Structure 1
Amino acid sequence: MLTERSRLQSLLHRASEGLSKAKPYHLFEHLIANILVLLISFIVVVALYKLGEDVLSLLVSRAFDPLKHETFQTVFGGIMTLLIAMEFKHSILVVTKRQQNIIQVKTVILVSMLALARKFIILDIHALEAAKIASLALALVALGAVYWLMRERDAWNMEHGRQEEG
């Protein structure tokens, strides 16, 4: 009992020290990040409910055929939307846990790649011009190249004992 109480007091003391030493902008950033996490969590829950509702209505109407292209696009488009939102939430949670001060560029690039992958999944190739499909593919290749270059830079920095630049 005494050790639990002393641990709790120590934790509270460290937290109050951290708050007193924190700069106002860091407190502001932390508050905004927490609000964003709550909002995105709410969006994820609503989107999950809507996706479940759509799948259930497809099952009840016996129209659920995963081999049917339109059904596949609807279901997996919803799943990818949820994954993208959860990845955004995760990247913001990193800030709230003070593991990093800002959202990392690599995370933004990965989320962008997920969004493009979702676009390719829900894409109706018959209704879109070839040039638009090519431009989406080029954007995905460009994002992949930037991510690869950043990963190589990070590996080089680690190898040479340098800090990550962001």
Structure 2
Amino acid sequence: MTQMTREEWSALTLYEKFEQAVVITLSVVIAVVVVVAMWNLCREVVTSLVGGAFDPLNHTTFQTVFGMIFTVVIALEFKRSLLVVTERRFGIVQVRSVILIALLAVVRKFIIVDMGAVEPAKIAVLAAAVLALGCVYWLVRDKDDKERAL
């Protein structure tokens, strides 16, 4: 994070100061969540390796490990979007970041879902969500690219 000067801090409204405090608090909480998630991921992999139960070709192992990895990636992306708010002084989180986080969450769900135990309608809904989020991300990205070109 970039350091805010006293002049910049004093120029902020009360709400903007509150917003900055919330973002910093959330950043700390997310950092703790990432550390705990990484600890659990490493512990799970090491325990499985030592116990001889780690088989990356086993579907259940793959689901567990990559589900945990995606949890960390989602938390990191959320943290990055908060850092953008503090560094660039945007009042709101960028729409692209929110869409990307939602897309990552749906992809994580696809990875951890047991395809044999879930009804086809749920898979269709998840697929539609990925398609819709992908289209919205493309539209927002395209709009942002056009605005930057001006």
TM-score computed with the length of structure 2 as normaliser: 0.93
Partner residue, 1:37: 27
Partner residue, 2:49: 59
- For 1:94 and 1:61, locate their aligned partners in 2 and report how far apart those are by CA, in whole Å: 42
Large movers: runs of 4+ above 3 Å = none
Structure 1: unaligned runs, 5 residues or longer: 1-11, 162-166
Pick from 105, 108, 128: which aligns with 1:138? 128
Corresponding letter in the other structure for 1:146: V
Q: Residue 97 of structure 1 aligns to a residue in which SS?
A: helix
Corresponding letter in the other structure for 1:91: S
The sequence identity of aligned pairs, in percent, is 49
Pick from 10, 17, 36: which aligns with 2:7? 17
Deviation at 1:101, TM superposition (A): 2.3
Q: State yes or no: 1:83 paired with 2:73.
A: yes
Structure 1 vs Structure 2 CA RMSD: 1.4
Partner residue, 1:71: 61
Corresponding residue pairs, total: 148
Deviation at 1:158, TM superposition (A): 2.9
Structure 2: unaligned runs, 5 residues or longer: none
Q: Residue 88 of structure 2 aligns to a residue in which SS?
A: coil
Deviation at 1:150, TM superposition (A): 1.0
- For 2:9 and 2:89, locate their aligned partners in 1 and report how far apart those are by CA, in whole Å: 16
Could you report, residue by residue, the CA deviation over 1:60-101 in whole angstroms, capped at 9, with x for unpaired residues? 110000001000111111001000000001100111223422
Deviation at 1:128, TM superposition (A): 0.3
Partner residue, 2:117: 127
Could you report, residue by residue, the CA deviation over 1:115-161 in whole angstroms, capped at 9, with x for unpaired residues? 111111111100000110001000110001111111122223233x2
